[in-house]
Structure 1
Amino acid sequence: MNAPFAPQALKTQESLFAASPVAPSLERRRLQCYLGIMVGDIAAIVAGFTLASWLVSRDLGAGLVHGQLILPIFLTLALYNGSYSIDTLRRTWTSLSRPMIAMTIAVVVAVFVQFLVKPSGGLPRLSFNAGAITGMLLICLSRLQMRHLVRWRCGAAVMNELVIDDGGPKVDFPGAIRVSAAALGLRPDLRDPEALDRFGIVLRNIDRVIVSCPVGRRAEWAMMLKGANVDGEVLDDVVVRLGAQGARVAGKHGLLLVSAGPLGLRERAIKRMFDLAFAGSAILALSPLLIVIALAVKFYDGGSVFFVQRRMGRGNRFFNMYKFRSMTEALCDADGNQSASKNDQRITPVGKFIRKTSIDELPQLFNVLLGDMSLVGPRPHATGSLAGDKLFWEVDLRYWQRHSLKPGLSGLAQVRGYRGATDHESDLVNRLQSDLEYLEGWTIMRDIQIIVLTLRVLVHDRAF
C-alpha cells in the first residue's frame, strides 16, 4: 500500500509536474520530421522525372509534366499506406519500402489513366520509365539522409515511453523513462479525482505507458489508463506462455494492451483545425451578443460576468471552464454539488434567459481556442456532480473512459436529449453510454452532424 501524501505535498508535486513535464513533447518534432520527409519525397520525384527527361530527350517541360501527374497520386497513396508514420521514423526498411509501394502503384495508375484518356498517344515510355526509376532512387537517398534528422529531433526511440513501477516485476526497456509510483504519489484510485488529475499530469507528452504492478492492482491500473488518452499496457508475463493475441512481448516480458488513444494524429489535427476555424468565426460573428450579455449580467447585481468552475478534461486532468454567470454570485456552486432545478431560487432573471437559450455556454468557445475543449465531445462535469445520491463515477467506473477525448460544447448525449439535472442514476447511465459510443466511431462528418443537430435543441425544456 502506498503511503498517503499530505495535500500540500501533492500541490507542490503538481506545480512541479506542470512546470517541468516528465518528458518533452515529441509530437511536434515528429510532425516536423514528417514534413521534412514529405518535402524530400516531392523534391525527389520532381527532380527524378526532370533529370530523366533532360537526359533522354533534352526536354525539361515533359519531365515537369510527368512529375505533376505522379505527385498527387503518390502523396494520396503514401498518406494512406503509412509512408509518414511512426513506423517509418523508427525503421529504415519500413521508411524505404512503403514509399516504393506507393510510387509503383502511382505509376501504374498514371499509365492506366493516360491510356483511358488518350489510347493512341500515351506517355513517352523511355523518359517516363526512367523518370519513375530515378525518382524512386532519389526518394530512397533522401529518406536515408533524413534518418539523421529523425535521430536529431526525436532520438532513437522516436516516442516517449514511460514505465511506472508500482511493485511489480523489474523491467528494463531501452530508452524508456522510469518512475516510481510511490515516489510520485501515483495510485490507481478511481474514486479520487485528484489522484486521476495527478496521473494525467505525469502522463503529459507520453506516447506509451507500461505499468508494472502486482496482479491484484492490474484491473485498477487498466481502468486508470483507459481514460488517459494514451497507449497503455499492463505487465503480465503470462502473455509469453500463452502466446496471447492483442498482446506484445518485449524482451522476456509480456504486455497486455489495455488502452489506446481514440484518435490518431491525422484525426486529431483535422478535429483541431475544425475547432479553431469554427470557434474563431463564431466568436467574431457573435461578439455583439457576447458583449450585450456580459453587460446584462454585470449590471444586474454588479458581480462577475463569468462563472469559472474546475472541470475534468482530457486525460482526466482538471481545467477551468467558463460560462456566463447565471446565478446570484454568493450562491454559485463552484463544486457542482447541487444541480440546478426548474424553479431554482439561485438563478437570476438574466440567468434564466441565458440558460433557457444555452447562451450561458458561449464563453466555452474561448476554452476551445485555448485547447481545453472541442466543439463536440463528452460534456465536462464538475467533480461533485451527483446522479441521485451517488457521485458520477460511483454509478459506473467506465465514467473515466469518456475523458480520453477533449470535452465538448455539445455531444451525442446532448442532441439525444440527455441533458439537465441528473436526479436518477439512469440519467447518468444514458449520457455515459452515448459518450462511449461517440468515442468508438469518430469522423469529422459526425462532428458536423452533431453541431447541426445542436442548433435545433439550443432552446430546450431541460435547461434550468
Structure 2
Amino acid sequence: MFELDARKMLSASAAASSAIGSQDSRRRAPRQLSPAALAAASVETRAAYSPIVVAGIVRTIESTLIALVGAVIYALYVMPAEGFSWPYLAAIAVISGLSIVAFEAVDIYHIHAFRQPLHQMARMLTAWSVVFLFATTLSFFFKFDQMFSRVWLLAFWGVGAVVLMASRSVVYVLVRRWMRDGRLTRRAVIVGGGEAGESLINALKEQVDSDVRIIGVFDDRNDDRSPTACGGLPKLGTVDDFVEFARRTRVDLVIFSLPISAENRLLQMLKKLWVLPVDIRLSAHSNRLRFRPRSYSYIGEVPVLDVFDRPIADWDVVMKWLFDKIVGGLLLLALLPVMAVVALAIKIDSRGPVLFKQKRYGFNNDLIEVYKFRSMYVDQCDATASKLVTKGDPRVTRVGRFIRKASIDELPQLFNVVFKGNLSLVGPRPHAVNAKAAARLYDEAVDGYFARHRVKPGVTGWAQINGWRGETDTQEKIQKRVEFDLYYIENWSVLFDLYIVAMTPFALLKSENAY
C-alpha cells in the first residue's frame, strides 16, 4: 500500500526550504488579504458538528428508544398480570441490539440518509420488521413462544415503528437546519489553479449530496498561469495568504490539485500549511500515477491521498471535552482550599488584585486571556511577557517566588478549562504573545512553532512533566518544548492525558528552571 509520509518529506526538504520557512514565521503583523479573501473570511460561520458524532448520537438514542418502548409496554401490560420476568428484559436487549445491527446493514446511519426522510424511513421500517420476524421465528424453533405475550410483541413492533419514524423526522429537521447553517458541511479550499484545479472543482461540484463547500482557490503562481477565477470560484491569494485566511474563518479541508510530480512545490506549500488545524488532501483525480484502491480515501467519488489529518477530531473531541470538564472540575473542587489560602497570602503580602489576566496564544493562534495568581508587584506586572522572569527577579513578590517555583500561580487556569473552555487540562502550554528565547520571539527561534497550536493549549503538558518548563533563556529550551508538544499532539489519547495529569505533581518537585 502506498503511504504518503508528509513529515518525512518535509524533513527531507528542511535544509532547502528553512530560509523560506524562517522568513515566513517572522512575519508578526497579519498579512493584508485581497478584497475577495476578506469578503470570504467575513462570512459568518458557526462551529461544525462532526457527522460521525451526530450519527453515533442518533444510533445511541434510537437504541435507547427501542429499549424504552419494550420496557414501558412490558411494565404497563405484562407486569400487572404476570409479575416480573427476566426473559422479557433479555428479549428487549436482544431486539434492541439486533435492530441497530439491522439499521447499520441497510446503511441509514450517515448524514446523507438523514437528509432523505422517505427513503430512510422505508429502509428502517423494513429492517425493523425483519428483526421481529427473525425474533419470532427464533422463539418458535426454540419453543420460547409460550414465554412471551403476543400482544406485547405486536405492540412492541407497532409502537416501536411509530417512535422510530418520529425520531427520524426530528433528525431530518435538525440535519436540514444544520446543513443550512453550515454545521454539517466541510468548508474547503483548493490549492493550485489552472486546468488541474478547474477539473478538480468541477468533479467536486458534480458530487450528489456532497458535504464539501468550496470557498475559493489559493495559488502561488501569477495570474498568467493561474487566472483570477478557477472553475467559477475566485482566486483568493497565495499559500501565505491562506495561513492568515484560515485564522480568520473556519476552514476544514485543504485539497491540493497539484500533481505528485510537482514535489518541490508541494513540499514548500505543505511546510507552510501543516501548522494549521485542518485536514490536508492531495487530489489523485487527474494524476496519471495510480496506486492500489486502498491507498486512497474519497471525497464523494473523487480519490485523494491523505497528507495530514486534524490532530483531534470527531469522537476524540468529545472525549477530550468530557475529560476536561469532569477531571478538571474535580481538580478544581479539590484545590479550592489551596487556592483560597494562596489568595489570602497574596493579599497580605502586597497590594493589588489576587488574580492576573495575561494574553496568550490559543487554538489556531487565536489570542485568549488566561487567569493566573498575581506573582509580581502590581505596578511591574508584565501582561505580554516581554521580559522573561529570571532568578532573583526584583519584580516578583515574596509569595510570588514560592507559587511560581511550585507552579501554583497557574491553578486559576482551571477556571479557563472548566468555565471558559479556551484551555484544556492537558496540552501544549500557552505562551505569552511576546515571550522570547535568547532575545528572539518563539516563532522566530523555532521553525514550525505554530504547529503546536493545532490543538487547544493546556494547563500542564508532556513538555512540562519532562522538565521543559520555566525560563527559556536559550533557543534549545524552546525547541525542546516544541518537540515534546508535537509528540503529544501526534500521540494523544485519554490515557496519555491521565498519565500526564498523574505525573504533574512529581514533575513540579523538579523546579530548578522555574523562577
TM-score, L = length of structure 1: 0.71
Which residue does 1:159 correspond to in 2?
184
Which amino acid is 1:200 matched to? R
The C-alpha deviation readout for 1:146-177, integer Å capped at 9, x for no partner, is: 66335423338973222335662242544514
Cα distance in structure 1, aligned partners of 2:462 and 2:104: 28
The partner residue of 1:275 within 293, 307, 324 is 324
Cα distance in structure 2, aligned partners of 1:6 and 1:69: 60
Which residue does 2:466 correspond to in 1?
416
| Kept in 2: contact 1:307–1:325 (CA 8 A) | yes
| Kept in 2: contact 1:311–1:319 (CA 8 A) | yes
Q: Does 1:376 find its partner at 2:416?
A: no
| Kept in 2: contact 1:298–1:305 (CA 8 A) | yes
Cα distance in structure 2, aligned partners of 1:8 and 1:200: 11
| Kept in 2: contact 1:17–1:201 (CA 8 A) | no
Which residue does 2:16 correspond to in 1?
none
The C-alpha deviation readout for 1:178-226, integer Å capped at 9, x for no partner, is: 1466999876449xxxx857523312xx543446689676445534543
Show the 5 A alignment for 1:41-80. Answer: 41-44=63-66, 47=69, 64-70=88-94
- Cα deviation for residue 453 of structure 1 reads 0.8
| Kept in 1: contact 2:358–2:369 (CA 8 A) | yes
- Cα deviation for residue 365 of structure 1 reads 0.6
Cα distance in structure 2, aligned partners of 1:225 and 1:126: 64
Which residue does 2:279 correspond to in 1?
231
Shift of the 393–189 alpha-carbon distance from structure 1 to 2, 3 Å rule, reads: farther
| Kept in 1: contact 2:386–2:435 (CA 8 A) | yes
| Kept in 1: contact 2:47–2:183 (CA 8 A) | no
Show the 5 A alignment for 1:63-462. Answer: 64-70=88-94, 89=114, 124=145, 138=161, 148-149=172-173, 151-155=175-179, 159-164=184-189, 168=193, 169-170=197-198, 171-172=201-202, 173-174=204-205, 176-179=213-216, 188-189=239-240, 199-203=246-250, 206-210=251-255, 218-219=266-267, 221-223=269-271, 225-233=273-281, 239=287, 241-243=289-291, 246-248=295-297, 255-369=304-418, 370-459=420-509, 460-462=511-513
List gaps (5 residues or longer) in structure 2: 1-26, 206-211, 220-233
Query: Helix, strand or coil for the counterpart of 2:456?
Result: coil
- Cα deviation for residue 376 of structure 1 reads 0.9
Shift of the 299–15 alpha-carbon distance from structure 1 to 2, 3 Å rule, reads: farther
Cα distance in structure 2, aligned partners of 1:79 and 1:436: 40
Shift of the 21–376 alpha-carbon distance from structure 1 to 2, 3 Å rule, reads: farther
Cα distance in structure 1, aligned partners of 2:478 and 2:444: 11
Cα distance in structure 2, aligned partners of 1:5 and 1:227: 15
- Cα deviation for residue 128 of structure 1 reads 11
List gaps (5 residues or longer) in structure 1: 115-120
Shift of the 32–255 alpha-carbon distance from structure 1 to 2, 3 Å rule, reads: closer
Shift of the 415–78 alpha-carbon distance from structure 1 to 2, 3 Å rule, reads: farther
Shift of the 158–280 alpha-carbon distance from structure 1 to 2, 3 Å rule, reads: closer
C-alpha RMSD of the superposition: 5.2
Query: Helix, strand or coil for the counterpart of 2:326?
Result: helix
Task: Out of 361-370 and 314-323, give the one that drifted further.
Answer: 314-323
Which residue does 1:39 correspond to in 2?
61
Shift of the 220–37 alpha-carbon distance from structure 1 to 2, 3 Å rule, reads: same
Query: Helix, strand or coil for the counterpart of 1:457?
Result: helix
Cα distance in structure 2, aligned partners of 1:430 and 1:439: 14
The C-alpha deviation readout for 1:18-44, integer Å capped at 9, x for no partner, is: 9x7642334189866754553334434
| Kept in 1: contact 2:357–2:370 (CA 8 A) | yes
Cα distance in structure 1, aligned partners of 2:487 and 2:108: 30
Which amino acid is 2:253 matched to? R
| Kept in 2: contact 1:90–1:158 (CA 8 A) | no
Task: Out of 380-389 and 153-162, give the one that drifted further.
Answer: 153-162
Cα distance in structure 2, aligned partners of 1:393 and 1:440: 20
Shift of the 439–49 alpha-carbon distance from structure 1 to 2, 3 Å rule, reads: same
| Kept in 2: contact 1:222–1:234 (CA 8 A) | no
- Cα deviation for residue 254 of structure 1 reads 6.0
| Kept in 1: contact 2:49–2:183 (CA 8 A) | no
Query: Helix, strand or coil for the counterpart of 1:202?
Result: coil
Shift of the 324–282 alpha-carbon distance from structure 1 to 2, 3 Å rule, reads: same
Cα distance in structure 2, aligned partners of 1:296 and 1:71: 62
- Cα deviation for residue 344 of structure 1 reads 2.2
Query: Helix, strand or coil for the counterpart of 1:382?
Result: coil
Shift of the 443–166 alpha-carbon distance from structure 1 to 2, 3 Å rule, reads: closer
Shift of the 271–158 alpha-carbon distance from structure 1 to 2, 3 Å rule, reads: closer
Cα distance in structure 1, aligned partners of 2:99 and 2:301: 40
| Kept in 1: contact 2:466–2:507 (CA 8 A) | no
Which amino acid is 2:94 matched to? I
| Kept in 2: contact 1:162–1:179 (CA 8 A) | no
Task: Out of 430-439 and 141-150, give the one that drifted further.
Answer: 141-150
Shift of the 391–265 alpha-carbon distance from structure 1 to 2, 3 Å rule, reads: same
- Cα deviation for residue 437 of structure 1 reads 2.3
Cα distance in structure 1, aligned partners of 2:283 and 2:256: 6
Cα distance in structure 1, aligned partners of 2:32 and 2:462: 39
Cα distance in structure 2, aligned partners of 1:151 and 1:80: 19
Cα distance in structure 2, aligned partners of 1:14 and 1:344: 46
Which amino acid is 1:386 matched to? K
Query: Helix, strand or coil for the counterpart of 2:248?
Result: helix
- Cα deviation for residue 346 of structure 1 reads 2.5
Cα distance in structure 2, aligned partners of 1:239 and 1:59: 69
| Kept in 2: contact 1:208–1:232 (CA 8 A) | yes
| Kept in 2: contact 1:418–1:431 (CA 8 A) | yes
Query: Helix, strand or coil for the counterpart of 1:273?
Result: helix
Shift of the 230–239 alpha-carbon distance from structure 1 to 2, 3 Å rule, reads: same
- Cα deviation for residue 422 of structure 1 reads 2.3
| Kept in 1: contact 2:55–2:110 (CA 8 A) | no
Task: Out of 211-220 and 347-356, give the one that drifted further.
Answer: 211-220
Task: Out of 366-375 and 212-221, give the one that drifted further.
Answer: 212-221
The C-alpha deviation readout for 1:297-347, integer Å capped at 9, x for no partner, is: 345443443332222222232211221222234443433343322222322
- Cα deviation for residue 360 of structure 1 reads 0.5
